[in-house]
Amino acid sequence: MSGSEPAGAGGPTRRHAAAALSLTARAAPGALASYLALTLVAGSLPVAAAWLTTLLLDELVAAPASWRSLLMLAAGLAAVGVAASATPHLSQYLRAELERKAGVLAQDRLFGAVERFTGLARFEDPAFLDRLRLAQGAGGTAPNQAVDGVLGGVRAAVTILGFLGSLLLLGPLMAALVLASGLPVLAAEVALSRRRARVLWDVGPIERREFFYGDLLAGVAAAKEIRLFGTGPFLRRRMLAERRSANAAKRAVDRREALTQSLLGVLAAAVAGGGLVWAVAEARAGTLTVGGLAMFVAAVGGVQGALATLAGEIARSYQALLLFDHFLAVTAAGPDLPVAPRPRPPGALRHGIELRDVWFRYSEAHPYVLRGVSVFVPRGSSLALVGLNGAGKSTLVKLLCRFYDPTRGAILWDGTDIRLLDPGELRRRIGAVFQDYMRYDMTAADNIGLGDLDALGDRGRIETAAARAGIHEKLAALPRGYDTLLSRMFFMETGKDDPETGVELSGGQWQRLALARALLREGPDLMILDEPSAGLDAVAEHEAHTSLRRHREGRTSLLISHRLGAVREADTIVVLAGGSVVEQGDHAALMAARGAYARLFTLQAAGYRGEGEPDPALDGGR
Ligand SMILES: Nc1ncnc2c1ncn2[C@@H]1O[C@H](COP(=O)(O)OP(=O)(O)OP(=O)(O)O)[C@@H](O)[C@H]1O
């Protein structure tokens, strides 16, 4: 299996169990203490019942039987019965309460840890993503299952000790035999649980692939293509093949389990049967009372049952702890980007941003995407990045936001390496529309307000940003205006009776919304626009660029666009090819140089004009 296999070869350790227990104890100390107390009571009830029965039977056959004693013993038995019938329900409630509370704390810890990853690399590491998914599933339930398993084990141990003590009083040999017949059950169950946990881990990726195909088939994202290309049956076959292969692995372990448990069951029954013959012989000879015989029968059944329970609980805890290992690994993961000893907040940009001989590759296994890029963006100027697909433009933007660190070289904010700055503060000084912007299944106002949480409740600012992005009229005209939910997946709390309140926007409208989100942040020192108009129609694009130009005025900005008409106004245009800067200058200079930019520009202009028409671009640029 991959390097992210849980808990090492030795399986979960005491450290895992202690962490699970401490998480549960912190989440719900009262419920845990009550659960523990109830567990101890529940464990001793069968022993108490057996002893009371023994005493009752012996009292009955004694002559003369004392009424008072008989009544007391019967009342005791009745009380044990009442307790035995009430404890499971109370236990179930406490267990659910523990799970709820531990679940909240675990979720909080997990997502708190995920938030602390300042970069993006972890989210692109398949092994880490696997762990994260398992941790999400395990965080809420695994600690509780583990604790439950441990407490179940404690309950079984109390029962076993109680009965073994009783058996020792009756016949030490029998006690030893019963224990010996139970121990193989325990050993076999633990071995089986290891095997089961390993199978679960092994089939994990298979099941995730199955879910992936299931999601594709059942979700809206792929619905169009599946129907158009007719890939439904193909994807379904793949999904079922994954399911069958997971089933085959589980079936093998189930068979082994059934066989082992049947053999052990036969062994246990043989010991119990032999013991019974011995006990009857002893009773006939008068060395064992009737009560003693009853106690013997109860003790043999009780010990064997409790040993099987103990084994089952150990197996359950083991599996839960294996999953919990993922949770621990994620929550204990260190920072994904090096942290400066005393990170400083960046001041307002005064001079400019410099990329100094920046080299970058996504990992050692990947080729270099940026190769020695050196660019200076003076404060207040606009820089446009131009280049073919895959040239490294968006990568450069990600480095500027410090989602990754350069492999070599540095990015300087007013002369200070951004690695020495507080990443959160740095990002607060940057406004950005990413190429792959988000569409939040939230209201229109929320979709814009997420750009600056301080403005989330400030409708005036939100509307101004929307107006700048050219989407105000559209949003104001929605059924509930800015409070309209932009999703067909959910419906609003207030609109439960009218689930049709959700509205879906067009691609270009979503893009304007993303633009409005970026424009909400007041006066960012650096404005990054990565393909801000790719989905817009010609009129909208023109409007957006006029508005953006106005918004960018006097502000440091970086614009990426494949539509070269949109970048010609930039103070500096940098042409990236193969991760290196091949040209830089303003539009006129680059057109005059007749290099890569001029070729691209001319090609696009010819496309718009049609063949044979005059080429104004080649006649001098602006
Ligand atoms: N997360 C990633 N992990 C590995 N490689 C990546 C990742 N993101 C991008 N790349 C690779 O880096 C190269 C540059 O990608 P980038 O997105 O920066 O190009 P771009 O110039 O913005 O392209 P486009 O014009 O298509 O948007 C590409 O070869 C791409 O495959």
Instruction: Report whether 94 contacts 34 (CB < 8 A).
Output: yes
Which of 309, 318, 311 is CA-nearest to residue 187? Answer: 311
Asked whether 517 and 450 are in contact (CB, 8 A), the reply is yes
Q: Of 110-124, 167-181, 313-327, give the lowest mean pLDDT range.
A: 167-181
* 126 C-beta closer than 6 A to ligand 1: no
Q: Residue 472 pLDDT > 90, yes or no?
A: yes
Does an H or E element contain 356, and which?
strand 352-360
Q: Which two tokens stand for residue 110?
A: 């997990």
What is the model's pLDDT at position 398?
A: 94
- Residue bearing the bigger pLDDT, 535 or 83: 83
pLDDT of residue 6: 45
For ligand 1, atom 30, name the residue with the nearest CA: 390
Q: What are the structure tokens assigned to 500, written together?
A: 């049709």
Q: State if residue 215 touches ligand 1 by the CB under 6 angstroms criterion.
A: no
Select the more confidently predicted residue: 561 or 446: 446
Q: What distance in angstroms lies between residue 371's CA and the mean position of ligand 1's atoms?
A: 14
Ligand 1 atom with the shortest distance to the CA of 124 = 1
The residue among 37, 32, 303 whose CA lies nearest residue 146 is 32
Is residue 1 scored above 50 in pLDDT? no
User: What is the distance in A from the centroid of ligand 1 to the CA of 394?
Assistant: 7
Question: By mean pLDDT, which of 98-112, 128-142, 392-406, 446-460 is the weakest?
Answer: 128-142
Of all atoms in ligand 1, which is nearest to the CA of residue 576? Answer: 21
Confidence of residue 506 (pLDDT cuts 50, 70, 90): confident
Ligand 1 centroid to Cα of residue 383, in Å, is: 20
Backbone angles phi, psi at 215, to 5 degrees: -60, -40
For helices 290-332 and 14-27, angle between their N-to-C axes, nearest 10 degrees: 90
290 — pLDDT class (breaks 50, 70, 90): confident
Q: What pLDDT shows up at residue 536?
A: 67
- Helix orientation angle between 67-116 and 290-332, rounded to the nearest 10 degrees: 10
- The region of weakest confidence among 125-134, 245-254, 437-446 is 125-134
474 close to 511: Cβ distance less than 8 angstroms: no
135 confidence band (pLDDT: 50, 70, 90): confident
CA distance 122 to 125: 5
Q: What is the 3-state secondary structure (H, E, C) of 242-260?
A: HHHHHHHHHHHHHHHHHHH
% of the chain beyond a pLDDT of 70: 89
User: Which ligand 1 atom is nearest residue 392's CA?
Assistant: 18
Pick from 589, 592, 586, 562: nearest CA to 574 = 586
Q: Whose CA is nearest to atom 8 of ligand 1?
A: 395
136: Cβ–Cβ under 8 A, 6 or more apart, which residues?
Answer: 110
Please report which residue ranges of 401-450 form alpha helices under DSSP H: 423-428, 444-449
Among 361, 364, 369, the mutation site with the greatest number of ligand 1 atoms within 8 A of its Cβ is 369
Burial of 541 (0-12, 13-18, 19+ CB in 10 A): buried
- Tell me the CA distances in angstroms from 292 to 61, 182, 276, 287, 453, one per residue in order: 12, 21, 12, 9, 74
Distance CA 350, CA 352 (A): 6
Dist. CA 40–CA 32, nearest whole Å? 12
Closest CA to 532 of 469, 592, 599, 617: 469
Which residues are registered as beta bridge partners of 412?
354, 417
279 lines ligand 1 (CB under 6 A): no
Q: Decide which of 28 and 544 is more confident.
A: 28
pLDDT band (50, 70, 90) for residue 236: very high
Asked if pLDDT for residue 406 goes beyond 90, the answer is yes
pLDDT at residue 43 in the model: 83
> Are 471 and 487 spatial neighbours (Cβ–Cβ below 8 Å)?
no
CA nearest ligand 1 atom 27, residue: 389
> Mean pLDDT over residues 226-240, rounded?
95
**CB of residue 574 inside a 6 A radius of ligand 1:** no
Identify which of 336, 366, 393, 436 to mutate to test ligand 1's pocket (most ligand atoms within 8 A of the CB): 393
Atom of ligand 1 nearest to the CA of 391: 21
pLDDT in the model for residue 587: 92
Dump pLDDT digits (tens) for 11-59. Answer: 566 788 888 888 999 999 999 999 889 988 888 888 888 888 888 888 8
For residue 433, report the distance from its CA to the centre of ligand 1, in Å. 16
- The answer to whether the CB of 124 is under 6 A from ligand 1 is yes
Using the predicted structure, report yes or no on whether residue 540 has a pLDDT greater than 80. Answer: no
In 416-464, where do the E strands start and end? 416-417, 430-433
- The CB of 254 under 6 Å from ligand 1? The reply is no
Q: How far is Cα 114 from Cα 124, in angstroms, rounded to an integer?
A: 13
For ligand 1, is residue 435 a contact (CB within 6 Å)?
yes
Instruction: Please state, in angstroms and rounded to a whole number, the distance separating the CA atoms of residues 343 and 341.
Output: 6
Residue 226, both tokens: 């599946």
Closest atom, ligand 1, to C-alpha of 396: 18
pLDDT surpassing 60 at residue 8 = no
CA quadruple 245, 248, 253, 258: dihedral, nearest 10 = 150
Rg (CA), the chain: 35
Which of 368, 394, 564, 581, when mutated, tests ligand 1's pocket best, judged by the most ligand atoms within 8 Å of its CB? 394
User: Separation of 401 CA from ligand 1 center, angstroms?
Assistant: 16
Beta bridge partners, 360, equal 370
The structural domains of the chain, ordered by start, are 14-332 (1.20.1560.10), 352-429+524-619 (3.40.50.300), 438-509 (no CATH)
- Which pTM was predicted? 0.76
pLDDT at 335 over 90: no
**391 C-alpha to center of ligand 1: Å?**
7
Strands of the sheet with 580-585, listed across from one edge: 430-433, 526-530, 556-560, 382-386, 572-577, 580-585
**pLDDT, tens digit, 9 for 90 and up, residues 186-212:** 788 778 877 877 787 788 778 888 988
370 pocket-lining for ligand 1 (C-beta < 6 Å): no
Give ipTM to 2 decimals: 0.97
Task: Please give the angle made by the CA atoms of 87, 93 and 98, to the nearest 5 degrees.
Answer: 120
Within 13 Å of residue 152, how many CA atoms lie on the same side as its CB? 23
